[in-house]
Structure 1
Amino acid sequence: MPDRFVRIALGAALGLLALFVAQPYLTALLFSVEQPRAVTPRGDLAPAEAATVALFERAAPSVVYVFARRAPSVQDLMRQGTDGTEQGGQGSEQTGTGFVWDAGGHVVTNNHVIQGGSEISVRLSSGEIVPATLVGAAPNYDLAVLRLGRVSAMPPPIAIGSSADLKVGQFVYAIGNPFGLDHTLTSGVISALQRRLPTQEGRELSGVIQTDAAINPGNSGGPLLDSAGRVIGVNTAIFSPSGASAGIGFAVPIDVVNRVVPDLIRTGRAPSPGIGIVAAQEEAAARLGIDGVAVVRVLRGSPAAAAGLRGVDPATGELGDIIVGVNNRPVHRLADLTAAIQEAGVGRTLELTILRDGRPRTLQITTADMGQRVP
């Protein structure tokens, strides 16, 4: 009797083991689907997704791909071939992003995207490639305006917002052509406001927007949008040791763009308001314990000269005037003074508070377009 029980138990165990081993094969045989699967209905997009999709579909047709071919340099032309013969250089191509500003076919981009380019072309969202001409550039703001050639259908101008009421933490969206991947959408938040960004000729642009939306090479000149799909800035630079996005991008605020672009369209240049001083380097001023802008030199015939500002005495090296305020606002560094002058514009009278021989004084000074001065 026990032997019979053992045989039964052993047979059952072997049967279970066989079923265990065969189970994957039986499952595949019985339940395999050899036809396309039925699609499960998704339902509606989440409200945030639907809003983002609508934003992209509304703004993307106004975003363009900008190509600027740089003429070959002397070094390019004289570059040696591998066989020792001289061969003509092919130059290079700079690429970036832009967006349609108005129904007249003007496109806004960064100055550094097209700087030095001898041939500029634009690829629209439809895929059409259109030649473009440079209308005007403002290197101090890293902005440029192009005009499209003949197009089969003019893209719509993009919606313009304001940068005056932005808040840290707002959602933002960037559309551009990073690494040649056209019409790429990235998103993030406003990380900080009132950043300072160095531009050409040693100037600083104040009020710059910082964002963690992914911005990479090729995004330059593209729009930074708010959640309403309005442009609030022009993507212009990143901070990245590797050259790729590190989550720290910068955009020129749209209020600056909206002030500069009409001048570029109208006259081809943007006024550069100034007072005509050469300021001491901030590091040197800090070492001397100076809190303000130390005037090194006053340009001849400038508003600063007319107002009586004094620079460093070239004979004795005695310190000149130190600008510590403008229109009752403190000035701690050159960017504070530059921001106040840019905000005022050309032909406006400012009240400067200065320290002369350690004593405070006030001076009235009228800004001028320093870009029109002959060096």
Structure 2
Amino acid sequence: MRDRTVWIFRVVVLALLVVLAFRPSLDRWFFAPPAPRLIAPRADLTDLERSTITLFQRVSPSVVQVVGSRGDARAPFPDRSGGEGIQSGTGFIWDAAGHVVTNNHVVQGAAEVAIRLASGEVVRADILGLAPNYDLAVLRLASGSRVPPPLAIGRSAELQVGQSAFAIGNPFGLDQSLTTGVISALKRRLPSSEGREVADVIQTDAAINPGNSGGPLLDSAGRLIGVNTAIFSPSGTNAGIGFAIPVDVVNRIVPELIRRGRVPTPGIGIVAGDERLATQLGVEGVVVQTMPGSSAERAGLRGVDPVAGVIGDIIVGANGQTVRRLSDLTNELEAVGVGREIELSVMRDRRGRTVRAEVIDVNRP
């Protein structure tokens, strides 16, 4: 009896081992469905999902890929292949006349530019105007091209930290990519390639990567609120900190580029000294170095004298607004405009005085 019990136990154990060893095959034989599985019903899309889908469907046809070639590089037109010297980014339709807005750094130095529309069609474009101080450029689609609808324009002055933000672009060449986030901060300062600073820059955590440059930053209504221009990332990829040029600046600069091909640079003919010099003196402001024959020199501003070791004037106010750094001054100069006068409050030998200077186009050819 005992031997029989042992024998039965061994058979059971062996059977269990066989079942375990062949379980995957048994599962397929006995449990795998012979036909496609039934689709499980789902609830309706949320209001947020529906609004985001609608926004993308409405706006994406107006977002394009911008590709430029430099020198002897072969631009990616239908009859050409890409190669070295190719630079690419994003742009968007500005108006019904076929003007496209993008970043200056996307097309700067390009000998030839191509635009790939959302439909996949590739058309040639001409560079109409560049504004390096604002990292903006305007292109014009070749005549006869089908022009998608322009984007609706919003106001960046109305933005609030925490409201939704949407970016559409071509990160790493992956076209028509949508990312979402919020406005993380306002009134950031962004250095431009020409040594000036763009003020009131928008910071967002909507993913912005290489290739998104020049693309639109949108509010929840699908209106343009900024032009994506840069990211802050040691690795070169998105780290949750992206920057966009505010649309209020774009809406002022783009018409000038369309009309003239360039944008006047308001100034008074000074070179700003190191901010640390003013800080060492216990004063917040812009240390002045005047250019010979400049509006600043004619107004009586005294610049730094490196030979005598004299600091000279420090601009601490403009038209009643406090000037703590160069961007504060350039903001007021742009608000006044070329051809008008600006009232400056300056500190000289720790005493305050007021001067009036003519605002000129410091980069006029």
* TM-score, normalised with respect to structure 1: 0.87
Structure 1 equivalent of residue 78 of structure 2: none
In structure 2, C-alpha distance between the alignment counterparts of 1:104 and 1:94, rounded to whole Å: 25
Q: CA-atom RMSD, angstroms? A: 2.4
Among 125, 128, 138, which residue is 1:145 paired with? 138
1:331 matches 2:323: yes
Describe how 1:240-279 pairs up with structure 2 within 5 A. 240-279=233-272
Question: Compared with structure 1, are the counterparts of its residues 173 and 151 closer, same or farther at alpha carbon in structure 2 (3 Å cutoff)?
Answer: farther
Contact 1:353/1:362, CA 8 A, preserved across alignment = yes
Describe how 1:101-140 pairs up with structure 2 within 5 A. 101-140=94-133
Structure 1 equivalent of residue 44 of structure 2: 44
In structure 1, C-alpha distance between the alignment counterparts of 2:257 and 2:145, rounded to whole Å: 25
Amino acid at match of 2:344: L
Describe how 1:2-17 pairs up with structure 2 within 5 A. none
Contact 2:183/2:203, CA 8 A, preserved across alignment = yes
Amino acid at match of 1:316: A
Amino acid at match of 2:208: I
Q: Secondary structure at the match of 2:52?
A: helix
Contact 2:305/2:311, CA 8 A, preserved across alignment = yes
Deviation (angstroms), 1:228? 1.0
Deviation (angstroms), 1:361? 1.1
Residue-by-residue CA offset, 1:245-289 (whole Å, 9 max, x unaligned): 111111100000000000000111111111111221223443454
Amino acid at match of 1:344: V
Q: Secondary structure at the match of 2:194?
A: helix
**Higher mean displacement: 128-137 or 9-18:** 9-18
Contact 2:339/2:360, CA 8 A, preserved across alignment = yes
Q: Secondary structure at the match of 2:55?
A: helix
Amino acid at match of 1:362: T
Contact 1:320/1:356, CA 8 A, preserved across alignment = yes
1:60 matches 2:68: no
Q: Secondary structure at the match of 2:211?
A: coil
Structure 2 equivalent of residue 231 of structure 1: 224
Contact 1:130/1:150, CA 8 A, preserved across alignment = no
Structure 1 equivalent of residue 80 of structure 2: none
Among 333, 344, 348, which residue is 2:336 paired with? 344
Question: Compared with structure 1, are the counterparts of its residues 52 and 10 closer, same or farther at alpha carbon in structure 2 (3 Å cutoff)?
Answer: farther
Deviation (angstroms), 1:180? 0.8
Q: Secondary structure at the match of 1:200?
A: coil
Among 191, 197, 202, which residue is 1:198 paired with? 191
Deviation (angstroms), 1:205? 0.8
Contact 1:324/1:332, CA 8 A, preserved across alignment = yes
Residue-by-residue CA offset, 1:97-123 (whole Å, 9 max, x unaligned): 000000000000000100000011100
Segments of 5+ residues of structure 1 without an aligned counterpart are 74-89
Deviation (angstroms), 1:311? 1.1
Structure 2 equivalent of residue 78 of structure 1: none
Structure 2 equivalent of residue 70 of structure 1: 70
Structure 2 equivalent of residue 220 of structure 1: 213
Amino acid at match of 1:240: S
In structure 2, C-alpha distance between the alignment counterparts of 1:232 and 1:272, rounded to whole Å: 23
Deviation (angstroms), 1:316? 2.6
In structure 1, C-alpha distance between the alignment counterparts of 2:5 and 2:123, rounded to whole Å: 86
Segments of 5+ residues of structure 2 without an aligned counterpart are 74-82
In structure 2, C-alpha distance between the alignment counterparts of 1:146 and 1:130, rounded to whole Å: 12
1:354 matches 2:346: yes
Aligned length: 353
Among 313, 320, 332, which residue is 2:312 paired with? 320
Contact 1:60/1:175, CA 8 A, preserved across alignment = yes
Amino acid at match of 2:52: T
Deviation (angstroms), 1:343? 2.7
In structure 2, C-alpha distance between the alignment counterparts of 1:282 and 1:26, rounded to whole Å: 77
In structure 2, C-alpha distance between the alignment counterparts of 1:35 and 1:91, rounded to whole Å: 50
Structure 2 equivalent of residue 171 of structure 1: 164
* TM-score, normalised with respect to structure 2: 0.89
Question: Compared with structure 1, are the counterparts of its residues 151 and 69 closer, same or farther at alpha carbon in structure 2 (3 Å cutoff)?
Answer: same
Deviation (angstroms), 1:191? 1.1
Question: Compared with structure 1, are the counterparts of its residues 32 and 348 closer, same or farther at alpha carbon in structure 2 (3 Å cutoff)?
Answer: same
Residue identity (%): 59
Q: Secondary structure at the match of 1:201?
A: coil
